[in-house]
Amino acid sequence: MKTMFIAFAAALLIAVVADVGLDRIGFSSAERQSTDSVRLD
């Protein structure tokens, strides 16, 4: 059971770090999918 909780925590940590990291380098889906003629609010 302890191993499963460690695995869940590791997966959550990887997801959060990846989300923040990709957002900071400009790789968010809003920035990747928008063009000059599309305005995202």
Q: Where are the domains of the chain?
A: 2-31
Written as one string, the DSSP assignment of 1-40 is: -HHHHHHHHHHHHHHHHHHHHHHHTT--HHHHH--TT---
Q: What is the pLDDT of residues 2-38, one digit of tens each?
A: 999 999 999 999 999 999 998 888 787 777 776 677 6
Measure the CA–CA gap between 37 and 8, rounded to whole angstroms: 41
pLDDT confidence tier of residue 1, bands split at 50, 70 and 90: very high
Structure tokens at 22: 């990709």
Measure the CA–CA gap between 12 and 24, rounded to whole angstroms: 18
